[in-house]
Amino acid sequence: MPPRDVQDSEERRQQIIDGAFQVFASKGFEKATNKDIAAAAGIGSPGLIYHYFKNKSDLFQQVVEQYLPILQLLTHGEEEMMSKPPEDVLTIFGKAFLRVSENPKSIALMKLLMGEAFRQPVVAGMLNKIGPSRSIAFLTRYLERQMSAGVLKPMNPGASARCFVGSLVAYILTREVFLQPDAQQISPDTMVATAVEVLLEGMRISPTDANTHT
């Protein structure tokens, strides 16, 4: 086990992340203050936050990365996934992406941040760097590698990645934001399986394509 002081430090750090999550989910990034975060975290001094995080943006990044399963997957499993077949990777990616809907607080955080991103270019840039750009970049690299290996049909990998992610985003919006009844009747597993099948159906190499490239 780690030394007691290291363990205490990690527990305090997590305490601050949990408190910041509550504040960001209720007030958004711009309106959240260190005083609010310290109170939610149960720590005495707002200044203690800077002992564990460089600034509010750094804390925000840690919160988003910890509470969005897709970012945890990219942080810890990206290289391993690069060698897996497309159906497996897209399914793993899609399920992690939609797991956010299992946590009402994560959905609340996402709604607030999306609203702020439209109003505040700084928040939009910061949020994009933490999440969307990483997700799209990973899928683009993966699909490009599969195309180069002759597993998938050559086409624009960035556009292909956005087709897949876009279907998942549309599902979350119609289910969690617009509360469309038919969207709520579609399970996340069904949505992922359908999105994977639709994408791969258009990207699989047919015998005619294979003969063309030989």
Scanning the chain, the segments in alpha helix (DSSP H) are 4-31, 34-41, 49-52, 56-67, 69-81, 86-98, 104-119, 121-130, 132-148, 157-172, 181-184, 188-203, 207-212
Nearest to 25 by CA among 84, 111, 86, 128: 111
Nearest to 93 by CA among 76, 81, 104: 81
pTM, 2 dp: 0.88
- For residue 152, give the 3-state DSSP assignment: strand
Looking at residue 175, the DSSP 8-state letter turns out to be I
Q: What are phi and psi of 113, to 5 degrees?
A: -65, -35
Domains of the chain, start order: 1-56 (1.10.10.60), 68-205 (1.10.357.10)
Given a contact cutoff of 8 angstroms between Cβ atoms, the answer to whether 191 and 168 are in contact is yes
Helix H or strand E segment including 100:
none
Q: Average pLDDT across each block of 10 residues of the chain; the chain has 214 residues. List them in order.
A: 75 96 92 96 94 94 90 91 97 96 86 88 92 96 97 97 97 95 97 98 78 51
Predicted local confidence at residue 95, as pLDDT: 97
Q: What are 167-175's contacts with CB under 8 Å, separation 24+?
A: 167/191, 167/195, 167/198, 168/94, 168/97, 168/98, 168/192, 168/195, 171/98, 171/195, 172/98, 172/100, 172/101, 172/110, 175/101
Predicted local confidence at residue 124, as pLDDT: 93
The first and second tokens of residue 137, run together, are 């970049």
Predicted local confidence at residue 131, as pLDDT: 92
Side chain identity at 177, as an amino acid letter?
Answer: V
CA distance to 152, 194, 200, per residue, from 205 (Å): 6, 19, 9
Separation CA 61–CA 55 (nearest Å): 10
Separation CA 65–CA 214 (nearest Å): 44
Given a contact cutoff of 8 angstroms between Cβ atoms, the answer to whether 43 and 18 are in contact is no
Predicted local confidence at residue 6, as pLDDT: 76
Predicted local confidence at residue 2, as pLDDT: 59
